[in-house]
Amino acid sequence: MLIKKRPSWAMAEADATSEHIYLNRREWLRAAGFTGLGLTTALTGVGGFAAAAAIQGYPAPRNMAYRLDRDITPEDDATTYTNFYEFGSSKNIWKRAQKLVTDPWMVTIDGLVETEMQLDAEVLIAKVGGLEERLYRHRCVEAWAMAVPWSGVPLANLVKLANPKPEAKYLQMETFLDPSIAPGQKQSWYPWPYVEGLTLAEATNELAFLATGIYGKPMPAQNGAPIRLVTPWKYGFKSVKSITRFTFTDKQPVSFWEQLNGNEYGFWANVNPDVPHPRWSQKTERLLGSGKNVRTQLYNGYGQQVAGLYDGMFPNDDRKLFH
C-alpha cells in the first residue's frame, strides 16, 4: 500500500539486514543432538518458560462447506508474494521473515474477559479444538487476490474460551513488536505494533478463522506464523499476522492502516467492487499465479454468510462498510 506520509528517502530495500544463519530453538536442539519425543516433556517448565512443541495436526481434514470458484493459487506464489510490513514494504520479504522465532510464542488474552490468560500458541490451539482445512478466497485492497487452503480453528472457539464480559463489543488483535528482528518496525512513522479489530459479531461469524497453517503445513513465517487471522469477506489488511494479543474491549479498535490513513483504510473494509479505493478501482482483481483478471464480488463472494451482520447499520451511507 502506498502511504503518503512515508518519506521518499525511505526505500524498502534500505532496511535489508545482513543475512546470517538462523536456527530456531528446535533446530538448535536437534543440531545439538537432542531429538525425539522426550524433548518437549523434558523442557516443560525449565526456567519458568514452558517449551511448547509446534502446533500439531497436519494435514488437517478439509471442511467441505468452503468451496472455491477458481483454482487454488500455486503454493510458491502465495508464500513468496506477501504483505508483512514488519519486514519491509515490498512483497519480497519472505527470506527476511525467517528471523521470526515462533516457538515458543506467548499469547495474551486480556481486557473485558472473566479471566485474563497468557499461554503458548500451541496450548491455546489445543484448547480451542482440532485443526480443520478451509479453502478461502483472499482479496487484498491493492487488487491482487489468491485462493488458498488454510489450516486452523474458528475464531469463535477462542472467543468462547476467553469468556468475554457482557460489556465487550470488539476484539482487538495485535502483532508482535520486536524491531531487532523486524526491520520495518524501525521505521518510526508507522504506528507499530500492527493492530486490527472486529466486532464480536464478526469475530464469532462462522467464516472468521484463526489460521495456523497453509497448504497442509504449519504457517511459514512470512504468512503470519504461528497464528493469524483470516477474514475472507474483508480486504486482506484486516487479516492480521503473527498475533500475540487478543484484547476484548468496548471501544472500536483503530487499526494500523486506519491510523496511518483513515480516508483510505477504514475499520469495516468489507470487499465491494462498486466502492472504489480513493486512488483506484476495486472492480477487478489480479490472481496470483495466473495473472488473470477476474471480477471482484461483493463481500468477496461471502455475502450469504456475512451480509446479515451489517443489516441497517449505515442506512444513509452504506459506503462506510466498504472502506
Q: Can you give the binding site for Mo ion, defined by CB under 5 A? A: 83, 140, 236-237
Name beta bridge partners: 270: 234
Between 110 and 178, CB nearer to ligand MTE? 178
Residue 143's nearest CA partner among 275, 306, 296 is 296
239 binds, among Mo ion, ligand MTE, none (CB under 5 to 8 A by kind): ligand MTE
Among 66, 85, 136, 310, binds ligand MTE (CB under 6 A): 85
Region of 37-45, 82-90, 100-108, 295-303 interacting with ligand MTE (CB under 6 A): 82-90
Residues 193-212 touching ligand MTE, rule: CB under 6 A, are 194
272 binds, among Mo ion, ligand MTE, none (CB under 5 to 8 A by kind): none
* Residue that is written with C-alpha cell 491510523 in the block: 259
Cell reading at 67: 468451496
Q: Please report how close the Cβ of residue 180 comes to Mo ion at its closest, in angstroms.
A: 26
- Residue 200 phi/psi, 5° resolution? -65, -30
Among 73, 102, 172, 175, binds ligand MTE (CB under 6 A): 175
CB 78, CB 288: distance < 8 Å: yes
State the Cα–Cα distance between residues 275 and 193, nearest whole angstrom.
29
State the Cα–Cα distance between residues 259 and 266, nearest whole angstrom.
9
CB 142, CB 248: distance < 8 Å: no
Task: Kindly report the three-state secondary structure assignment for every residue of 59-93.
Answer: CCCECCCCCCCCCCCCHHHHHHCCCCHHHCCCCCC
Q: Is 147 near ligand MTE (CB under 6 A)?
A: no
Q: Is 236 near ligand MTE (CB under 6 A)?
A: yes
Between 170 and 237, CB nearer to ligand MTE? 237
Between 148 and 156, CB nearer to ligand MTE? 148
Among 15, 86, 132, 202, binds ligand MTE (CB under 6 A): 86
Contact positions vs ligand MTE (CB under 6 A): 82-86, 140, 175, 194, 223-224, 236-237, 239-242
